[in-house]
Amino acid sequence: YKEGEEINISVELSEIVNVSTVSGLPRLKINLGSEGKFFLYSSGSGTNTLSFSYVVENGDNSNDLEYLSKNALELNGGKIEDQAGNNVDLILPNPGSLASLGYNKNIIIDTIPPALPVASSPSGSYSSPQFIILSSLGSSEIKFSTTQNLTGCSEGLIYLEPINITSSATLFVLACDAVGNTSKARFNYNILDTNLQLLSEKSGQTITASKITLNNLTSLDLSNGVSSAVEGDIVIDGASQSLNNFSSGDLTNKNLDEVQMIGGELLKVEKAVKISADDNIALNNTDLSDVLISIPNNTIVLGSGGWDGKIYPPKNVSGEGIAPSGFSVGDVVIEVGSDLGILLFDQPVVITLNNVTGNVGYKPSGSTSWTEITTQCSGDYDNPGKPDFPGECYISDGTNTKIYTYHFTTFGKLNTVSSSSGDSGSNNSSSTTPNVNTSAVALACGDTKPAVAPILLSANQTGPNEVTLNWSKAQDPVTYYLVAYGLSPGSFEYGNPNVGGADTTLYVIQNLSAGKTYYFKIRAGNGCTPGDYSNEIPVVVSGTTLETIPDGFVEGVLGVESEEQKNDSVDNDILGKNESSKKASVKILEKTSNQTKPLAIGFISLVLLFTFFYWWRNKSSLK
Any idea what the CATH number is for the domain that residue 455 is in? Answer: 2.60.40.10
Parent domain of 51: 6-104
Given a cut of 50, whether residue 436 has pLDDT beyond it is no
| Closest by Cα among 336, 204, 338 to 274 | 204
| Nearest of 513, 520, 447 to residue 484 by alpha carbon | 520
The alpha carbon of 609 is separated from its chain's Cα centroid by a whole number of angstroms, namely 71
Q: Please give the Cα distance from 390 to 250 (Å, whole number).
A: 10
pLDDT at 335: 92
561 vs 418: which has the higher pLDDT: 418
- For residue 243, pLDDT over 70 is answered with yes
Instruction: Judge if 237 and 163 occupy the same domain.
Output: no
566/590 Cα distance (integer angstroms): 9
pLDDT for residue 480: 92
Whether the per-residue pLDDT at 82 is higher than 50: the answer is yes
The alpha carbons of the chain give a radius of gyration, in whole angstroms, of 36
pLDDT value of position 614: 57
- The torsion angles phi and psi of 581, rounded to 5 degrees, stand at -65, -35
Taking each helix axis from N to C terminus, what angle separates 563-570 and 580-622, rounded to the nearest 10 degrees?
A: 130
> Is residue 604 assigned to a domain?
no
Residues 280 and 315 in one domain: yes
Question: For residue 605, what pLDDT is reported?
Answer: 58
pLDDT at res. 573: 40
Read off the pLDDT of residues 302-325 as tens digits, 9 standing for 90 and up: 999 889 888 888 999 988 888 888
Report the range out of 360-369, 399-408, 440-449 with the highest average pLDDT.
399-408
Given pLDDT bands bounded at 50, 70 and 90, which one contains residue 287? confident
My answer on whether 44 and 86 are in the same domain is: yes
324 and 453 in one domain?
Answer: no
Look at residue 192 and give its three-state secondary structure. Answer: coil
pLDDT band of residue 275 (cuts 50, 70, 90) is confident
Say whether pLDDT at 599 is over 70.
no
State the chain's mean pLDDT as an integer: 81
Q: How many CB atoms lie within 10 A of CB 357?
A: 13
CB atoms within 10 A of CB 618: 9
Q: How confident is the model at residue 536 (pLDDT cuts 50, 70, 90)?
A: confident
Q: Which residue has the higher pLDDT, 550 or 445?
A: 550
Report strand pairing: 271-276 vs 227-228: antiparallel
Name the domain boundary from 71, 104, 137: 104
Q: So what's the pLDDT on residue 439?
A: 33
Cβ distance 315 to 325 under 8 Å?
A: no
Q: Are both 152 and 210 inside the same structural domain? A: no
* Cα–Cα distance for residue pair 8/52, rounded to 1 Å: 6
CA distance 318 to 301: 26
623 in a domain, yes or no? no
Alpha-carbon 336 to chain mean position = 14
181 and 208 assigned to the same domain: no
Percent of the chain with pLDDT over 90: 43
Percentage of the chain beyond pLDDT 70 is 81
- HSE-up (13 A, CA, CB side) for residue 486: 15
Instruction: Tell which residue, 496, 570, 559, 474, has the closest CA to residue 529.
Output: 570
Pairing of strands 211-214, 281-285: parallel
> Measured between alpha carbons, how far is 317 from 328 in angstroms, rounded to an integer?
15
Nearest to 310 by CA among 198, 229, 162: 198
Residues 290 and 398 in one domain: yes
Q: How far apart are CA 55 and CA 518, in angstroms?
A: 51
Q: Determine which helix (DSSP H) or strand (DSSP E) holds 614, and give its type and residue range.
A: helix 580-622
The confidence band for 222, taking pLDDT boundaries of 50, 70 and 90, is confident
The C-alpha atoms of residue 39 and residue 19 are separated, in whole angstroms, by 16
Helix (H) / strand (E) element for 104: namely helix 101-104
Q: Please check whether residue 296 is in contact with residue 276, taking contact to mean a CB–CB distance below 8 angstroms.
A: no
DSSP β-bridge partners for residue 486? 519
Q: What is the distance of C-alpha 238 from the center of its chain?
A: 37
For 441-458, b/e burial (b = at least 16 CB within 10 A) is beebbebebbbbbbbbbe
Counting every residue written for the chain, the total comes to 623
pLDDT tens for 174-189 read 999 988 899 999 998 8
- pLDDT of 455-507, one tens digit each? 888 889 888 899 999 888 888 899 999 999 998 887 778 899 889 888 899 99
Give the pLDDT confidence of 19-43 residue by residue, as tens digits.
Answer: 999 999 999 999 998 889 999 999 9
Banded pLDDT at 211 (limits 50, 70, 90) = low
Q: Does a structural domain hold residue 327?
A: yes
Tell me the Ramachandran region of residue 284: left when phi exceeds 0, alpha when psi lies from -120 to 50, beta otherwise: beta
Domain endpoint, select from 191, 213, 245 = 191
Q: Give the residue among 46, 47, 39, 34 at the shortest CA–CA distance from 9.
A: 39
**Number of domains the chain is built from:** 4
Which band of pLDDT confidence, cut at 50, 70 and 90, is reported for residue 521?
A: very high
CB 225 within 8 A of CB 311: no
**Residues 62, 84: one domain?**
yes
Average pLDDT over residues 590-602: 42
Look up the pTM and report it. 0.46
What is residue 59's three-state secondary structure? coil
User: Exposed e or buried b for every residue in 510-541, given b needs 16+ CB within 10 A?
Assistant: bbbbeeeebbbbbbbbbbbbbbbbbbbbebeb
Q: Is residue 310 part of a domain?
A: yes
- Residues 208, 187 within the same domain: no
Q: How would you classify residue 308: left for phi > 0, otherwise alpha for psi between -120 and 50, otherwise beta? A: alpha
Phi, psi of 595 (to 5 degrees): -80, -15
Ordered DSSP codes for 395-462: EE-SS-EEEEEEEESEEEEEEE--GGGS-TTSSSTT--PPP--HHHHHHH--PPPPSB--EEEEEEEE
- Tell me: cis bond preceding 477? Omega within 30 of 0 counts: yes
Pick the range with the lowest mean pLDDT from 97-111, 399-413, 529-543, 544-558: 544-558
Q: Which amino acid is at 369?
A: S
pLDDT of residue 450 exceeding 50, the answer is yes
554-593 core/surface letters (b: 16 or more CB in 10 A; e: else)? eebbbbbeeeebbbbbbbbbbbbbebeebbeebeebbeee
**173 with 150, same domain?**
yes
Domain co-membership, 97 together with 134 = no
- 316 and 343 in a common domain: yes
Residue 384 lies in a domain: yes
In whole angstroms, give the CA distance from residue 152 to residue 135.
17
Angle at 51 between CA 49 and CA 55, to 5 degrees: 165
Which of the pair, 433 or 512, is modelled with greater confidence? Answer: 512
Residues forming beta bridges with residue 10, ordered by sequence position: 51
CATH number of the domain to which 151 belongs: 2.60.40
Residue 600 counted as domain residue: no
Q: Which one of 159, 191, 223 terminates a domain?
A: 191
Does 35 fall in a domain?
A: yes
| Residue 33 covered by a domain | yes
Contact (Cβ atoms closer than 8 angstroms) between residue 397 and residue 377: no
Find, among 514, 540, 530, 532, the residue nearest to 459 by Cα: 540
